Structure 1
Amino acid sequence: MKLDREFYNRDTLTVAKDLLGQILVHRTEEKILKGIIVETEAYLGVEDKAAHAYGGRRTKRVETMYGPPGRAYVYIIYGMYNCLNTITREEGVPQGVLIRGIEPIEGLEYMALNRFKKPLEELTKYQIKNLTNGPGKLCQAMMIDRSLDKEDLSGDKLYIKKGENKDFNIIEAKRIGIDYSEEAKDFLYRFYIEGNPNVSRFK
């Protein structure tokens, strides 16, 4: 069952935690790629110095954040890596959740080719561990790019469906890569499934 718009139209920190254990799906013309969401980060928009929309910033890049909940916000970092966010809250409130890590469950052979240009059986243990344990890595593995910006996450192409396993502990930690954001760098807005090997960083 796909998560509906009302799932996203809630408190962003709550959504960030509730996304853990859900299943991210990218259905392309040729294949289906799936992974369990194991790590997220919440960004609270206008009031959050780490967020793209801090202070009400509204540029072409961040316009998606001001749109309706349940849409994909895909942007590029370092000029080369795509990152996937889910938009939360009501339209006009620019908040969202970054998907930081997934546990691959379907289409691993394609993910291996997308990430390393090698068949799955030729990957080293290190490469397998680093297949989807980071926002840029998972987007590369799942073939998620800027063409999917504004995609309806309740549609049939890129969507999140309800996971079956909720038997895990959630760890709260500081977000990663936002040392510029003054006091916001210390907010415990990153959430991950305790002990899952696909988490990008523990604590």
Structure 2
Amino acid sequence: MISSIPRLSRAELPVTTVELARWLIGKTLVHGSADGLTSGRIVETEAYVEGDASSHAFRGPTQRNRSMFLRHGHAYVYFIYGSWYALNISAEAVGVGAGVLFRALEPLEGVALMQERRRTSSLVDLCRGPGRLATAMAIDRQLDGLDMCGDGPLWLGGPVSVVGPIGESVRIGISKEAHRVLRFFERGSPFVSGPKRLLSQVTDEGNKQPV
């Protein structure tokens, strides 16, 4: 159960939340679980910066969110709406509560296993949205706090193909600080989640809006 995708070191990760969220587009997420290896190309992320009222870390560290305050590169996994998990990565220095949410992947390895877990044959919808992503990749609270730059079963890998233009928009499904342009995605990818109307709000490096 070995992936040929090279692991990324912590030294390669940006140490600011917004930079990390953008930088992760085109990189790879890999999970070697007991029933097989799965991986996907990261095509959509959202940044949750320090002091962000929509962030789980806004009111300080708790038992639930403690992983957001770890050194950048650690998994923060939470259960939401009583139905699914979501995966984030801590994004700043120790003690700073900030993270990046993995919103969508383009499936690479272990597609049949992902389809079995998700009970669907649709490739496009396998990891399109944070709940589907976590289910397809078998990510749950047991992985919370794991070092994604270490030798563990859940890790970040390098890019496997050229990254297309990166779009930016407001985040999805939040009510606080919803105006902030902190969602990043590979433009034109069919694996990206979210409503089509957001495409009309997209910015790029040549036309950035303040966050």
TM-score by length of 2: 0.86
- Name structure 1 gaps, 5 residues minimum: none
Within the candidate set 9, 15, 22, 1:17 is matched to 22
CA deviations on 1:57-80 (whole Å, 9 max, x unpaired) are: 221111111112111000011012
1:5 CA drift (Å) = 1.9
What residue is the counterpart of 2:104 in the other structure? 101
Q: How does 1:74-113 map to 2 (within 5 A)?
A: 74-113=77-116
Q: Kindly indicate whether the alpha-carbon contact (under 8 Å) linking 1:9 and 1:90 is maintained by their aligned counterparts in 2.
A: no
1:147 to 130, 142, 145: 142
Greater helix fraction, Structure 1 or Structure 2: 1
Matched, 1:2 2:27: no
- Distance in 2 (CA, whole Å) between partners of 1:50 and 1:166 is 32
Partner letter of residue 195 of structure 1?
Answer: G
User: Alignment partner of 2:123: what SS?
Assistant: helix
For the 8 Å contact 2:148–2:154, the answer to whether it is kept is: yes
Aligned residues: 190
2:133 to 116, 130, 138: 138
Q: After TM superposition, where is structure 1 displaced by more than 3 Å over at least 4 residues in a row?
A: none
For the pair 1:51 / 2:51, whether they are aligned, the reply is: no
Secondary structure of 1:106 counterpart: coil
- Within 5 Å, which residues of 2 pair with 1:111-126? 111-116=114-119, 123=121
SS of 1:159's partner is: strand
SS across alignment from 2:156: strand
Aligned identity (percent) is 37
SS in 2 for 1:129: coil
Q: Aligned-residue CA RMSD in angstroms?
A: 1.4
5+ residue gaps in structure 2? 1-5, 199-211
